[in-house]
Chain A
Amino acid sequence: MKLSKATRYLQVAPLAILLFAFVVVPLSLVVVVSFYTYLHLIGIVPDFTLVNYIDVLSNLVNWKLYLSTLKFTFFTLAITLALGFWIAYFLVFHVRNILVAIGLFLVCTVPFWTSNIIRMISWKPLLGKYGLINQGLMSAGVVDEPVEWLLFSDFAVIVSYVHLYTLFMIVPIFNSMARIDKSLIEAAVNGGATRWGVVWHVILPLCKSGIALGSVFVVTLVMGDFFVVTVMSGGLSGSVTFGIFNDLKFLNYPRASANAVVLVIIVLIFAAGIMRLVDVRKELTR
Chain B
Amino acid sequence: MTGGGHGPRPYTFYLLAGLFCLFVLFLYGPMISIYILSFQGPTGGLVFPLKGVSLDWFGALFGQARTGDIGGAFSRSLPLALVTMAATVVISVAAGLAFRKPFVGSSVVFYMALIGLIVPGLVLSIGILVTFNFLGLRASWWGSAFGAHLSWTLPFGLLIMFAVLSRLNPEYEEAARDLGASNWQVLSQVVIPIVFPGIIAVALFGFTLSYDEFPRSWLTVGSRNTLPIEIWTMTTNVTSPALYALGTVTTVISFAVIAAALGSIAYIQRRRRQIGNMR
Contact = CB atoms under 8 A, between A and B. Distances in A.
Contact of A94 (B12, B90, B91, B130): B12
A27 B34 contact: no
B174 to A, nearest CB: 9
B214 A116 contact: yes
A5 B191 contact: no
A21 B128 CA distance: 9
Given A23-B151, A256-B126, A223 B100 contact: no
Contacts, number: 288
Contact of A163 (B27, B116, B124, B211): B27
Interface string A248-265: 100001001100100110
Contacts of A94: 3, 9, 12-13, 16-17
B134 A29 contact: yes
A122 B91 CA distance: 35
> Which DSSP category, helix, strand, loop or mixed, fits chain B's interface?
helix
Contacts of B5: 96
> Chain B: interface residue count, which band?
35 or more
A135 to B, nearest CB: 7
Interface stretch (B51-59, B251-259, B266-274): B251-259
A119 B127 contact: no
A21 B116 CA distance: 11
Contact of A121 (B27, B204, B243): B243
Interface string A216-257: 110010011111000100000000010011001000010011
Given A96-B3, A114-B31, A189-B2, A15 B94 contact: yes
A285 interface: yes
Contacts of A65: none
A95 interface: yes
A189 B2 CA distance: 9
B228 A15 contact: no
A248 B219 contact: yes
B204 A86 contact: no
B47 A20 contact: no
Interface residues of A, number: 96
B98 interface: yes
A95 B94 contact: no
A110 interface: yes
A59 interface: no
A273 interface: no
Given A94-B13, A185-B1, A15 B91 contact: yes
Most buried by A among B113, B117, B127, B177: B127
Contact of B191 (A1, A118, A119, A264): A1
B67 interface: no
Contacts of B155: 19
A111 to B, nearest CB: 5
Contact of B127 (A30, A122, A226): A30
A114 B118 contact: no
A117 B204 CA distance: 19
B98 A9 contact: yes
B194 interface: no
A83 B155 CA distance: 25
B23 A118 contact: no
Interface in A1-58: 1-3, 5, 7-9, 11-12, 14-16, 18-27, 29-30, 33
Given A11-B95, A26-B130, A113 B1 contact: no
Contacts of A268: 115, 118
A271 interface: yes
B122 A241 contact: yes
Given A111-B31, A220-B119, 9 more contacts: A12-B109, A87-B20, A95-B3, A114-B254, A118-B250, A122-B30, A124-B46, A132-B33, A223-B120
22 contacts: A3-B101, A12-B99, A15-B154, A22-B148, A27-B124, A30-B127, A33-B130, A86-B19, A115-B247, A119-B31, A125-B37, A126-B29, A163-B26, A213-B159, A220-B119, A244-B126, A260-B126, A271-B118, A281-B110, A284-B159, A284-B162, A285-B99
